């Protein structure tokens, strides 16, 4: 059934580039029989297509990442899919599924549903912590905490085309994440938040530092809502990640649209 439709340009590119690689491999094998030079030529072309695939798909996701001013990180709720879809209808383009206290099989099932839902709305979908689950559900990437696996290992699992983010709480962690080639970083928690009760608030000073020093996309996170987002914008933030402000909103669609309007000026 999944082969019956293509939901976006990325899926179309991925499918057709795969077909090209398969065809080149067939020609390469015939070349080994007919003429070794022919086989080597098609092998080189096939490797060039791999590079092209990496550049095209990574560029596609990265452009969407840098254009995403609002990043929703999910929390436990009875109507998770309904809440996320409402936010997507409000213009949301980036979602992270975070759920730490359930069995893997349940987490995998929900991640699959959320991946399909986000891609239906042409939004990026990120899985928290688990590169293996991100790979299985065709997520656009994974977000790693400071105690999670190294970025290099996540890259080997997911390949060159996926997004890998890392949480940071200070300039030293930021520098390390950048050196390890994270695609984006989380900056925070800016304010105290029950989502991260063991983390001391980093405050606006770290937000200002990120605005001046981060060469990669960064999202302010932690205790952010519609009331303090203006303060963050004034401190240099152009991209923010939040949880409760949308997940607990009476109307996630309207709340999302309102926040996006503030962030985009």
- pLDDT (tens digit, 9 = 90+) per residue, 244-256? 999 999 999 999 9
Same domain, 103 and 83: yes
Q: Specify whether 46 is located in the same domain as 74.
A: no
Domain that holds residue 39: 2-59
pLDDT tens-digit profile of 82-102? 999 999 999 999 999 999 889
Residues 189-220: pLDDT tens digits?
999 887 777 778 889 999 999 999 999 999 99
Q: Residue 43 pLDDT more than 90?
A: yes
C-alpha span between 217 and 28 (Å, rounded): 41
Cis peptide leading into residue 189 (ω within 30°): yes
Domain closes at, from 59, 78, 108:
59
Question: What's the confidence (pLDDT) of residue 22?
Answer: 95
Q: How many domains does the chain have?
A: 2
- Tell me what the mean pLDDT of segment 70-75 comes to: 98
Asked if 86 and 252 touch (Cβ cutoff 8 Å), the reply is yes
Q: Is the pLDDT of residue 59 over 90?
A: no
Longest CA–CA span in the chain (Å) reads 70
Same domain, 165 and 51: no
Residue at a domain's end among 59, 83, 106:
59
Distance CA(228)–CA(256), nearest Å, equals 15
pTM: 0.84
Mean of the pLDDT values across residues 3-16?
81
d(CA 48, CA 29): 17
Collapsed DSSP state (helix, strand, coil) of residue 220: strand
Residue 159 has pLDDT above 70, yes or no: yes
Q: Would you state the pLDDT for residue 1? A: 67
Task: Confirm if 122 and 8 have CB atoms less than 8 A apart.
Answer: yes
Verify that 27 and 109 share a domain, yes or no: no
Q: Residue 5: pLDDT band by 50, 70, 90 thresholds?
A: confident
Residues 121 and 25 in one domain: no
pLDDT tens-digit series, residues 174-184: 999 999 999 99
Residue 2 is predicted with a pLDDT of 63
Token look-up 């099932």 returns 109
* Residue 124 sits in the same domain as residue 252: yes
Measured in degrees and rounded to the nearest 5, phi and psi for residue 39 equal -60, -45
Q: What is the pLDDT of residue 193?
A: 80
Mean pLDDT, residues 35-44 taken together? 94
* Residue 117 sits in the same domain as residue 43: no
| CATH classification at residue 201 | 3.20.20.70
Among candidate residues 18, 36, 59, the one where a domain is terminated: 59
Name the 3-class secondary structure at 63: helix
115-142 residue pLDDT tens? 999 999 999 999 999 999 999 999 999 9
Residues 122 and 214 in one domain: yes
> Is the pLDDT reported for residue 51 higher than 90?
no
Neighbours of 13 (CB within 10 A): 16
Per-residue pLDDT at 56 exceeds 90: no
Q: Are residues 147 and 27 in the same domain?
A: no
With the C-alpha atoms ordered 169, 223, 99, 142, is the resulting torsion angle positive or negative?
negative
Integer-rounded Cα Rg, in Å, for the chain is 20
Q: What is the average pLDDT value for the chain, to the nearest integer?
A: 93
Between 184 and 11, residue with greater pLDDT: 184
State whether 167 and 53 are in the same domain: no
Examine the domain organization and report whether 27 and 153 are in the same domain.
no
pLDDT above 80: residue 7: no
Same domain, 91 and 108: yes
What's the pLDDT score for residue 32? 92
């Amino acid at each position: 059934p999944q082969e019956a439709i293509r939901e976006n340009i990325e899926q179309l590119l991925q499918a057709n580039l795969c077909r090209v690689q398969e065809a080149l491999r067939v020609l390469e094998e015939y070349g080994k029989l007919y003429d070794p030079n022919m086989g080597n030529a098609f092998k080189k072309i096939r490797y060039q297509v791999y590079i092209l695939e990496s550049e095209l798909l990574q560029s596609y996701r990265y452009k969407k990442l840098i254009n995403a001013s609002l990043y929703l990180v999910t929390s436990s709720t009875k109507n998770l899919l309904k809440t996320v879809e409402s936010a997507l209808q409000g213009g949301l383009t980036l979602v992270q599924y975070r759920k730490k206290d359930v069995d893997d099989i349940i987490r995998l099932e929900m991640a699959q549903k959320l991946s399909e839902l986000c891609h239906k709305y042409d939004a990026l979908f990120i899985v928290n912590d688990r590169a293996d689950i991100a790979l299985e559900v065709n997520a656009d990437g994974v977000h790693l905490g400071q105690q999670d696996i190294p970025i290099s290992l996540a890259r080997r699992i997911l390949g060159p085309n996926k997004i890998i983010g890392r949480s940071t709480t200070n300039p030293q962690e930021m520098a390390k994440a950048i050196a390890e080639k994270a695609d984006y970083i989380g900056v925070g928690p800016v304010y105290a938040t029950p989502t991260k009760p063991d983390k001391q608030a980093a405050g606006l000073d770290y937000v200002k530092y990120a605005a001046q020093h981060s060469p990669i996309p960064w999202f302010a996170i932690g205790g952010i809502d519609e009331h303090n987002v203006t303060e963050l914008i004034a401190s240099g933030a152009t991209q923010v990640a939040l949880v409760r402000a949308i997940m607990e909103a009476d109307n996630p669609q309207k709340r999302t649209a309102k926040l996006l309007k503030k962030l985009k000026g």
